[in-house]
Amino acid sequence: MPKDGKLIRDLTTGSVPKTLLRFSTPLFLSGLLQMVYNMVDMIVVGKFVGTEGLSAVAIGGEVLQLITFVAMGFSNAGQILISRYVGEDEKDKVGEMVGTLFTLLGALAVVITGVFLFSYQGILGWLNTPEDIWEFTRQYSVTCVWGTFFIYGYNLVSAILRGMGDSRHPFQIIAIASVINIVLDILFVGPLGLGPFGAALATVIGQAFSFLFALRLLYRGREQIRFAFRPADFRLGRETTRPLIFLGIPMVIQSAAVTFSMLFVNSYVNSYGTVAVAVTGVARKLESMIGVVSQAISSAGGAMVSQALGARKLERVPKIVFTALWVVAIPASLFAVVTVFHPEWLFGLFSDDEAVLEMALIYVPVALVQYLGATLRPANFALINGSGNSWLNLAVALLDGLAARIGLALLLGIELGLGIVGFWYGNALAGLVPFLIGGTYLISGLWKKRAGRGRGTTAAKP
């Protein structure tokens, strides 16, 4: 913990751009390491094992999303509520929320691990996993799922810290996991020749170390977060469970809708063979480079909006939204230029296969649409999540995940006969939905009605 003891940071004072950049920079660096952390598996396996191993890790990564969206939804909800308690100066509720998060996410991690271990064959079949990479994919997926508890633990501790204005320590946590993962990846996949299984094992070990470090960090700051780590503290708090459930479930549904719709689209993409799987997997990793900035700004902006509403400083909210927009637009534009003029170099980082590089050129226009969505989304999610509007989150989930992504993919890919390109575009265009909904919400001013709301009212209708 910080030596000065100032774990809880006031995000409602000072210049909005400076505050947003100062708070989001550690989040960005954390996301950057997280991206490297996730990309190393594909790069190392792609270079040492080839296109088959690269494709297996790509599908295995999709499977991993199925077990993480619950953690992301409830962790993000917990972060928003903790920020709200800080803004309303109700710090006693922070400790109660910590206990609620530990109990709820710990139980969910155990249940989801068990369910996946009994159903993974059906999941891989639903994703149309090519037969020539089935065993590689099984090894990677099953090994990664054993790290579910650590993934959930890292997400909840990071959410607690960010909710209280501490974005520096989550960066340190992911830095530990990244270094361990990179070193072990090279060792396991290279000299030891363990293939995708080795890459997955390195990931799990890195996650375990990062969670243990995070837990130790939280324990050292137990007085500041009002959580004593006694057995009685690990319970569902009476005054925090209800708002967490009411805000968390729509956010989980949102993540689930987007995740399942993407997997639905990818199940069609996977049917085009190993090369198509590899190109799509690499493309998603490249798009995650913009996603790193988007996620950092969305998370930081959401915490700032939540504290601003809690403190009734309404004039800061539009400034936060517009600042978030241009902050993401700058790196997204630069990355778009690199993608257009040097696509072979970007995809060549992962694979030397000529077939992969040739198909990658077809994907370039789709990538530009993806970058546009990644630029527009974070500002709007900062407003929606920061205001605690669970019903609007649910609307985004249903329209983005189910109606737009699946509907557009089937229309373009099957009805209009565009094939794999149609499925790619369907997925990319759906990413613009949050901007349309969030922009309307901002202009309407309905978010102002949520100022100063606490004590479980975050689930009220706008």
Residue 411 DSSP code: I
In this structure, is residue 343 part of a structural domain? yes
Phi, psi values for residue 253, rounded to 5° = -60, -40
Residue 428 covered by a domain? yes
User: What's the total number of domains in the chain?
Assistant: 1
Domain-embedded: residue 439: yes
Q: What is 148-196 written as a DSSP string? A: HHHHHHHHHHHHHHHHTT--HHHHHHHHHHHHHHHHHHHHHHTTT--HH
At 13, the pLDDT band (50, 70, 90 cuts) reads low
pTM passes above 0.75: no
Taking alpha carbons only, the member of 248, 229, 212 closest to residue 95 is 229
DSSP state of 350: T
Residues 73-94 pLDDT 10s: 888 888 878 877 776 767 677 7
In a domain, 151, yes or no: yes
Residue 185 lies in a domain: yes
Query: Is there a domain that residue 9 lies in?
Result: no
Render 9-68 in DSSP notation, one character per residue.
Answer: ---SSS-HHHHHHHHHHHHHHHHHHHHHHHHHHHHHHHHHT-HHHHHHHHHHHHHHHHHH
The parent domain of residue 423 ranges over 16-459
- Any domain includes 74: yes
Q: Is 7 within the bounds of a domain?
A: no
- How does pLDDT run across 295-335, given as a tens digit for each residue? 778 877 877 887 788 778 888 888 888 888 888 888 888 88
pLDDT single digits (tens) 115-124: 888 888 888 8
Q: What is the mean pLDDT of residues 366-392?
A: 83
